[in-house]
Each structure stands twice: as structure tokens, then as C-alpha cells.
Amino acid sequence: MGTAEQIRNQYNRIPPRIEIMDSTLRDGEQTNGVSFLPHEKLMIARMLLHDVNVDRIEVASARVSEGEKEAVRMICRYAQSIGKLERVEVLGFVDGNQSVDWLLDCGGRTINLLAKGSLKHCLQQLHKSPEEHIADILEVVKYADRHQVNVNLYLEDWSSGMKDSPEYVYQLIDALKDSSILRYMLPDTLGIMNPLQGVEYMRKMVKRYPEMHFDFHAHNDYDMAVSNSLAAVLCGARGLHVTVNGLGERCGNAPLSSVQVILKDHFQAVTQIDESRLGDISRLVEGYSGIAIAPNQPIVGENVFTQVAGVHADGDNKDNLYCNDLVPERFGRRREYALGKNSGKANIAKNLAELGLELTPEQTKRVTKRITELGDKKEIVTQDDLPYIVSDVLKHDAPEDRVKLVSYVVSTAYGLKPGANVRVEINGKQYEAGATGDGQYDAFVKAMRFIYRKYLNRTFPILANYQVSIPPGGRTDALVQTVITWQMDDGRLLRTRGLDADQTEAAIKATFKMLNIFEVES
């Protein structure tokens, strides 16, 4: 048989042209809990055909429901209007003329006929001999021919057939090879195959029937759908079946995005896919299906183009040391550098540069320290938060804090007034007090007023206004900005801000910025 490398070297002499058939609207809809409305099917079909530019789409199973028929009619009307009607396919059954008539009533022109690809399925599910099953298939094919309907043939459970009853598989194709069937579609229906078997089985098919067009249809039960798809292409398959986001029964099918990029990058295969729209179709199907995309899903996941470690950002600054062929711009996206406790100066610098913010090395160091502190409290710090973090660090930042928070405890309980106990250091001396108030921050301020009045015999500035907001684009579990306006003894207003994951702590930070300004001016 030869090694996989030998096969690859031989096959890669001429880049293969691979047809991509997307079955999201048929096989993908068999995902537990997924049911697309007719207009949703139309929107997905439009994007697959027009924007993503897949070769073919399988949109339904014949004879399922009136709603399914309406969806197929809508899709066929659209496909015909753009000259792509023959790219729309419907799964049909070996049922005489019923599936073909159903397809014709919808305006369709291509049927994917479901036959049995293993002797076990033929005998035990159909209770028919191979000869009887072949005769039934030919009857449907001839009826389709009379009505100018294109026929592709699924050999359901083909992988089991090749494993347990290969002579049955050959008997079936030998009897059908002179018919008008355009493509023979070979499914790993139970998801049991591994890539070595994929190489073996597909090579046998191509060697025996070199002129035939074979599609491969993978299932992901052993997490090998993509690997098996590539093994099939390596050995001569001309088409692959995929679904958006890997939707499908049980563990799903081979994901469109993963199959596309591996075909192109590792096998130099030629497809018609517009890679820049893979993210768009992924999000559309995510929204309609209700099945969330994992953040680390290759190509389309939220986090896959986000560098977290500072050393990676540093490497990217030095000739893109941490980049590969999967550049985000290829897919209509951009690389991001996450902000959090693992961020280094290079990460911060990348984000600052994108926002057009220029800081000195010392300022960048202080901003990095602040982001690290915030990252220890909350997982998410967004780029939209960054200007606010910069302001928080640099604005009203005295060279040395003369008023420092040593420790504090705030509490709240049902039926009791919130309380606060505070210990602060003012000009090198520590003071402590406790108080209750209408809220945790109110209790904190009252404790501070008590310290200033009793121990320092000084007036504490009056709180004139208090605003809380989430920075635009930020998330509710990220940062809270508190802006407090203070009225000073001389009547002027002073505004300070605090930024933190906790609202009370953000207000306390704003308070201590005011107190340090107050102390310097006193």
C-alpha cells in the first residue's frame, strides 16, 4: 500500500480540485435540539452558495414535513435566480417515485439517494437481498432520468461495509456503474473509522473504479472526522461533506472551516471557498441553531487569534515569531493581545498602539502593573477598558501617596444597615474607625469622615456627585468605572475616578485619589 508520505508525495504532484458539499441544513439539523425555520434555512443557504461559495448544499430530507418542503422551495427559487439550482441537493430514499416527486414538487433538480453500503444494513434493515436492493435503486434512477433529475448515491454505512463485507460494496457499484449516477458518496455513518482505514478503503475504491467520482462523508464520534476526510482526499476522493461548526447527529460532522484550511495549507488542494466569510457563516449558524461555538474552536472560535502570554506579543514584534499561516486577516479577523495577569509590556504596547496611545516606558510599566492587578481579580479585561485604565493610572497620580488605605472590611446583611471598618495611613500615621451607612460605600465614607474629624480635626470634602458606568465595549464581569465629584472647602469642584472589578472598591480608589490631592493642597 505504501506509506502515507509516499501517497501524499505522489498525489501532490498536481493540486487536486476538491468539491465541498455542505450538509448543515440536512445532516447538521439532526443535531439534538436544532430545528431551523424555513426563512433561517434560506438565509444560511444564501450565504453558503453566494458568499462562502461552497460547491453544493444538501438542504433537507424528502418527505419529512410541509415546513421542510416550503424551505426547499424557497431555497430552490433563490438558487435558480442565481443560476445555481443544480448545486441544491435533497436526501431521498429508495421508495419508487415518491422522493423524486417530492423533490420535483419543490422545484429541485438533484437527489442524493440513500442506499445501503453494508450487507448487514441491507439484510437486517431492508430484509432484502443485494440483488433486490440493486433492482430497487435502478428503478428510482430510471424514474429520475425520465424527469431530468440528477442522482448522487449514498452508500450508508460504507465504512462498516468495507470492513465486514467489501464484496457486497463492489457488487453494488459493479451493478450501478453504467447508470447515470453522478457521484458515489461514501459515509462513515457510525463514525468508527480511523485515518489508516480511510487510506486503505478509499485507495481500494479508487483503484477499482478510477473514473468514478467519490465523496467522503465523515462523522466525529472518535474525534477523527477531519483526519478521516483528509485521508480520503489523500487517496483520491474528489469531494468532502462538511457542516458549519461541525453540527450533526451525535458528535457531529467534519467542520467546514477546519477542512478548508487543512486542505489548502497542508495538501495544496484547490477549493472555491471564500475563507474571509467562514466567520460570518459560523456566527449565522450559531445564532440560528442556538449551539454556541467553543472559544477555542479552530478558525472560528472567539479566542483563536488572541495571544495571552506577553512573550508571544514580544515575539510577534520581532518578525512574527509566534504566527503561522492561519493569519486572522485571511478570515476577515484580526489578531488580538489579551489583557490580564499574564500580559507583559509587549502585550500592552500592542494594544496601546492599536488605540493610538503613546506612553513613556515608565507609564507603560505602571499600566501593565495595574492590568495585572485587575487580571488577578477578574478573567476578562478588554481593549475597550484600556483607555480607562490608562486614565485611572495616570490622572491625578501624585508622585507619592500620602494617604494610603491599609485595610478595610465592608459588610451587608438582610435587615441590618451596611457597615465598614477602615484602617488608613495619613502622613505616616495609622488611624482606624468603623461606621454604618445606607450602603457599603456610604458606611466607608462615614468612617473616613470620623477619622478626619476626631483625629485630624479637619473637614472631609463633600460628595457632590457619584456616577457608575461600565466602559463602552466592556463586559459586566470586567471593570466598573466610578467617577466622583467632590466639593472642596473653597467651593471648587474636584472630579476623581476609580476603576476596578468591584464597584465599591472602584469608589474607594476614587476617594483616595481625591484625598491625596486634598492632602498635597492642604
Catalytic residue set:
26, 156
Judge whether 34 and 244 are in contact, CB under 8 Å.
Answer: no
> Where do we find the cell 440528477?
150
Within 356-435, residue ranges assigned H as helices are 361-377, 386-394
Strands of 117-274, DSSP E = 150-156, 183-187, 214-217, 239-242
Residues 259-287: b if buried by 16+ CB within 10 A, e if exposed:
bbbbbbeebebebebbbebbbbbbebbbe
Place of cell 480511510: 198
CA quadruple 339, 340, 343, 349: dihedral sign: positive
Contacts of 122 (CB under 8 A, 6+ apart): 116, 128, 129, 130, 133, 168
Spatial distance between the Cα atoms of 291 and 255, rounded to a whole number of angstroms:
14
Contact, 382 vs 402, CB < 8 A?
A: no
Q: Which of 166, 186, 190, 170 has the alpha carbon at shortest distance from 240?
A: 186
Q: State the cell numbers at 234.
A: 489523500
Counted residue by residue, the chain has a size of 522
